[in-house]
Amino acid sequence: MKQRRNKILENIKLLSAGAKGVSVGKTEEGKTVLVTGAVPGDLVNVRVKKTKSNYVEGEAVEILEYSEHRVDPKCVHFGTCGGCKWQNIAYNKQLDFKHSEVVNNITRIGGVSGFDIIPILGSEEQYHYRNKMEFSFSNARWLTQYEISSEENFGNRDALGFHIPGMWSKILDLKECFLQEEPSNQIRLAVKKYAVENGLAFYDVREQAGFLRTLMLRQNSKGEWMVLFQLFKDNKPERIKLFDYLLSQFPQISTLVFAINPKGNDSIYDLDIQTYFGEGFINEEMDGLKFKIGPKSFFQTNYKQALELYRKTLEFAELTGDQVVYDLYTGTGTIAQYVARNAKHVIGIEAVQEAIDAANEHAKINGLENCTFYCGDMKNVFNDEFLANHPKADVLITDPPRDGMHQKVVEQILKLAPERIVYVSCNSATQARDIALMKEDYELVKILPVDMFPQTHHVENIALLIKK
């Protein structure tokens, strides 16, 4: 058993990128090797972690030749932090890999061919593109191997940053992060410094104790910021001093809110959010549509690229003003409202009540009287009775979660038989599976991969299907 665990495959050339950001190579015998800790183009020695009949999983233990696609990562935390795993790959190659992954999934899993493939839509911003970041406080920061083995005292163990992948109780103390524009780093570092200097207790996840629990920063395209603190318990005098200090240092903060959370998890959706400063929300605008974004709001984290995605979705839908549109998995109704100005009527369905409430509020704000939203589990709401009591869809837009659509939902779409389906997906593998279920009735006309999250392996895709 020990021998198998330490088996090394030598001189494996990594040829391409695979699912979830792994690199793919071949043994001399032609067996596929899925490798972590390296990038396509590297020549590596691989420690085998798992052997299957048709592939091997392993990690790179030695890089013999470096890929020409490598670049120097910007962040000091690269390799420890779980995000931005493709920072060491040139952006044009990231796009190539993502484009290939989508095309391969659609053809191989979907079993379709002959469709138009539009080149991937890259993100204008490769860094600083997120409008929302969440950080955790901890009194047990992640220690480097050097710190663990050293007898030197490295000071207190307080941290404000990200969870270490696979280690729920350990937090990486962030020195820098390139995902959100400034003053994101400045706010986080100022909060950390103030808290340490003033002896505020960082959260102890094992003991369920402490004061400071999480910090969330949201911004809009106008440079206005929302700050949300989760506190394990209230300490009003210290809370007020912290909040006032932060507001005095950062005039960009337009609203500051907080929640007391004594629960075992960090979810805010069942918590009462209290406003300390400002209106308790920020506003965003997308091509003339207004959206109110609160602490609990669902909103695309890459605003600029989301806008491009919506524009392309509308383009694929080819609306003339007299069609009925169904928008499945509508969320807060951003796509529904974006297309509503070009439609006769839009019907949106979503499982989360808060999202539906937000969708109705936004429709009212935007003066859209041709949007109707329904709440419930898609496979239960979107049934025969629903179809019988609502107008037939001319165009259907669907944007499901990573798991794709439930088979019952696909069956109902086939019953509904819209002329045109625009399928927006954050997981082209499940999208391809769903397309395969529809290919007897629908022709896949074209696809457009969209990069929403540079420096990661994630990629979106828009597919257009026309009724045969």
What is the residue extent of each domain of the chain?
2-70, 92-126+302-467, 132-293
pLDDT at residue 197, as a whole number: 96
pLDDT at residue 148, as a whole number: 62
The per-residue pLDDT for range 355-390, each reduced to its tens digit, is 899 999 999 999 999 999 999 888 888 888 888 889
The per-residue pLDDT for range 192-218, each reduced to its tens digit, is 999 999 999 999 988 999 999 999 999
8: CB partners within 8 A, 6+ apart: 45, 46, 47, 48, 61
Q: What does DSSP say about strands 43-51 and 32-36: parallel, antiparallel, or unpaired?
A: unpaired
453: CB partners within 8 A, 6+ apart: 123, 129, 302, 459
pLDDT at residue 356, as a whole number: 93
DSSP character at residue 251: T
Mean pLDDT within 128-154: 79
Average pLDDT, the chain: 92
295: CB partners within 8 A, 6+ apart: 216, 218, 226, 228, 257, 259, 268, 273, 280, 281
**Residue range 2-70 in CATH 3.40.50.11540:** no
193-196's contacts with Cβ under 8 Å and 24+ in sequence apart are 194/242, 194/245, 194/246, 195/137, 195/158, 195/160, 195/242, 196/156, 196/158
User: Which of helix, strand or coil describes residue 170?
Assistant: strand
Could you give the CA distance from residue 459 to residue 9 in angstroms, rounded to a whole number? 30
User: Which of helix, strand or coil describes residue 465?
Assistant: strand
pLDDT class of 145 with cuts at 50, 70, 90: low
In terms of Cα–Cα distance, which of 5, 16, 12 is closest to 27? 12
Q: Does the pLDDT at position 146 exceed 60?
A: no
pLDDT at residue 1, as a whole number: 39
pLDDT at residue 74, as a whole number: 93
Q: Does the pLDDT at position 309 exceed 70?
A: yes
pLDDT at residue 2, as a whole number: 45
Mean pLDDT within 255-279: 95
Looking at per-residue pLDDT, the higher value among 296 and 82 belongs to: 296
pLDDT at residue 157, as a whole number: 87
Mean pLDDT within 322-330: 96
Could you give the CA distance from residue 448 to residue 116 in angstroms, rounded to a whole number? 9
Mean pLDDT within 168-186: 93
Question: How many CB atoms are closer than 10 A to CB 397?
Answer: 28
pLDDT class of 30 with cuts at 50, 70, 90: confident
In terms of Cα–Cα distance, which of 35, 63, 209 is closest to 139? 209
Across 151-165, 394-408, 451-465, least confident range: 151-165
In terms of Cα–Cα distance, which of 172, 165, 166, 167 is closest to 136? 172
pLDDT class of 3 with cuts at 50, 70, 90: very low
Q: How far is CA 230 from CA 141, 234, 376, in A?
A: 18, 10, 29
The per-residue pLDDT for range 387-419, each reduced to its tens digit, is 888 999 999 999 999 999 999 999 999 999 999
In terms of Cα–Cα distance, which of 388, 387, 436 is closest to 111? 436
Q: Does the pLDDT at position 301 exceed 60?
A: yes
With tokens 């992954």, the residue in question is 101
| Percentage of residues of the chain with pLDDT beyond 90 | 79
Could you give the CA distance from residue 268 to residue 247 in angstroms, rounded to a whole number? 22
Q: Which of 75, 81, 84, 426 is catalytic?
A: 426
Rounded to 5, what percent of the chain is helix, strand, coil?
Answer: 25, 30, 40
Mean pLDDT within 253-271: 94
Could you give the CA distance from residue 154 to residue 150 in angstroms, rounded to a whole number? 9
pLDDT class of 352 with cuts at 50, 70, 90: confident
Could you give the CA distance from residue 454 to residue 221 in angstroms, rounded to a whole number? 19
pLDDT class of 166 with cuts at 50, 70, 90: confident
Burial grade of 6 (CB within 10 A; 0-12, 13-18, 19 or more)? exposed
Q: Which pTM was predicted?
A: 0.91
User: Does this chain's domain 2-70 share its CATH topology with 92-126+302-467?
Assistant: no
Mean pLDDT within 447-451: 98
The per-residue pLDDT for range 228-247, each reduced to its tens digit, is 999 999 999 999 999 999 99
467, β-bridge pairs: 442
User: Is-catalytic flag, 75?
Assistant: no
pLDDT class of 147 with cuts at 50, 70, 90: low
Q: What does DSSP say about strands 345-350 and 371-375: parallel, antiparallel, or unpaired?
A: parallel
Q: What is the CATH number of domain 132-293?
A: 2.40.50.1070
CATH of 92-126+302-467, one of 3.10.28.10, 3.40.50.150, 3.40.50.970, 3.40.50.720: 3.40.50.150
Q: Does the pLDDT at position 4 exceed 70?
A: no
